[in-house]
Amino acid sequence: MKYENMDITSVERGLIVQGVNCRHAMGAGVALAIMEKWPIVRTSYMKSSSGEDMLGTTHIINVEPGISVANCYTQLDYIGYSGHPSVKPCASIDAIKSSLESAFIHAEMYDIPIYLPQIGAGLGGLDWELDVEPIIHSLDEQYETVETTICVWR
């Protein structure tokens, strides 16, 4: 697992992973950049099922030859996390584990690298170092043939 300062939409080959909510609301942060470059990602997302049953699932969309985007349903709602102690994080640790495992299986099967932002942190409200990074580190070790890059682009 490595960190790289890069725009995730500049990937030339691989699986770009992003967290999405289960309410068909897409339009901020990484999701905005992805849907502006590849409108099919939003179109596919809006056609997919919504609601709690989607939590923890992954929907993979081919956007260009050699490039796919994985919409990982990591949070039920889309209300941005305010950081206030009384507001619970939107992102679910269990949903992140489940959806990312599907993405890693896909990447291993097709022998492609994975690129992802600090999924679940920021508006998702989870702590990157305590909650999410250990999940990704564990998956990176389990699927050792998959090259994993965390894209830090802001």
For 7-37, give the DSSP string.
-GGG-SSEEEEEEEESSS---SHHHHHHHHH
At 72, the amino acid letter reads C
Output the CA angle 50-62-77, nearest 5 degrees: 25
Whichever domain contains 38, its CATH number is: 3.40.220.10
> Residue 64's domain spans which residues?
2-152
- Angle between helix 133-142 and helix 93-110 axes, rounded to 10 deg: 30
Query: Given this model, what pLDDT does residue 79 score?
Result: 63
Residue bearing the bigger pLDDT, 6 or 30: 6
**pLDDT tens-digit series, residues 43-52:** 999 898 888 8
- Mean pLDDT, all residues of the chain: 89
**pLDDT tens-digit series, residues 92-103:** 999 999 999 999
For residues 113 and 136, the answer to whether their CB atoms sit within 8 Å is no
- Say whether pLDDT at 84 is over 60: no
Token pair for residue 122?
């920021």
Parallel/antiparallel/unpaired status of strands 58-64 and 67-75: antiparallel
- Report the pLDDT averaged over residues 30-45: 92
Q: How many domains does the chain contain in total?
A: 1
Query: Given this model, what pLDDT does residue 82 score?
Result: 47
If you search the block for the tokens 């994975």, which residue do you land on?
A: 114
For residues 14 and 113, the answer to whether their CB atoms sit within 8 Å is yes
